[in-house]
Amino acid sequence: MKLIVGLGNPGPTYSQNRHNIGFLTIDKILSTLSANDVTSKKFFGELYKFRDILLLKPTTFMNLSGKSVLAVKNFYKIDLEDILVIHDDIDLNFGAVRLKKGGGHGGHNGLKSIDSAIGKDYYRLRLGVGKPERKSEVVSYVLGDFEGEDARLLDSFTNYAKDTAIAWLESNDFTELKSKYSQKDSKYLND
């Protein structure tokens, strides 16, 4: 069993926020798979199952994402090796894609919560959303909607993220996967 987690905040207010790119990517994956909704209160999130693949959107709000991930991990007895977390990353330009295993949380509250709940040795799909000019603007920036050129390319970006996550499911060579799917910015995206 493999688990792909998309991070975000529940509700329409947040749906197009930069912080919700994980949710947007899960939605793209769901649009290509005929997954069954297996959501239950005990999972603290929306959970979908397709064959031996689980797709999770925690509904605990970002700061408590670990509660949902831990519940699903324990119920389905999933190893850390079989978990991929998709999240926004302000340290990467908009459109950048990086795959990594383990590492720090970089100040991301969703990752902090997951790290404290299950440890750090899971896979991550880091999706660049750019960063504000001043550090004091980080919260309003990630809780703001995509705008301008970023908004125009968002559909293409989440499609690429979806393809990367699906490739992770099928890959036996993480180094090759990283090499093939990592991108520095949005220049590769199509209108």
Q: What is the pLDDT of residue 176?
A: 95
Cα 5 from chain centroid? 6
One-letter amino acid of 134: R
Cβ contacts of 183 within 8 Å, gap of 6 or more: 95, 96, 97, 160
What is the per-residue pLDDT across 22-65, written as a single tens digit (0 to 9) for each? 999 999 999 999 999 999 999 999 999 999 999 999 999 999 99
SS3 99: strand
- The CB-side HSE value for 186 (13 A sphere, CA atoms) comes to 18
Residue 108: active-site member = no
Residue 191 banded pLDDT, cuts 50, 70, 90 = low
Q: What is the pLDDT of residue 186?
A: 87
Domain boundaries, the chain: 2-188
- Taking the C-alpha atoms of residue 150 and residue 141, their distance in angstroms, rounded to an integer, is 13
The residue annotated as part of the active site, out of 19, 87, 105, 108, is: 19
Angstrom CA distances, 11 to 16, 59, 68, 100, stand at 10, 9, 16, 29
- Taking the C-alpha atoms of residue 91 and residue 163, their distance in angstroms, rounded to an integer, is 22
69 exposure class (CB count in 10 Å sphere: 0-12, 13-18, 19+): buried
pLDDT at 189 over 90: no
Q: What is the pLDDT of residue 188?
A: 86
Q: What is the CATH number of domain 2-188?
A: 3.40.50.1470
pTM of the model: 0.96
What is the per-residue pLDDT across 155-171, written as a single tens digit (0 to 9) for each? 999 999 999 999 999 99
Cα 86 from chain centroid? 2
What is the per-residue pLDDT across 83-141, written as a single tens digit (0 to 9) for each? 999 999 999 999 999 999 999 998 899 999 999 999 999 999 999 999 998 989 999 99
Closest CA to 92 of 136, 133, 126: 126
One-letter amino acid of 53: I
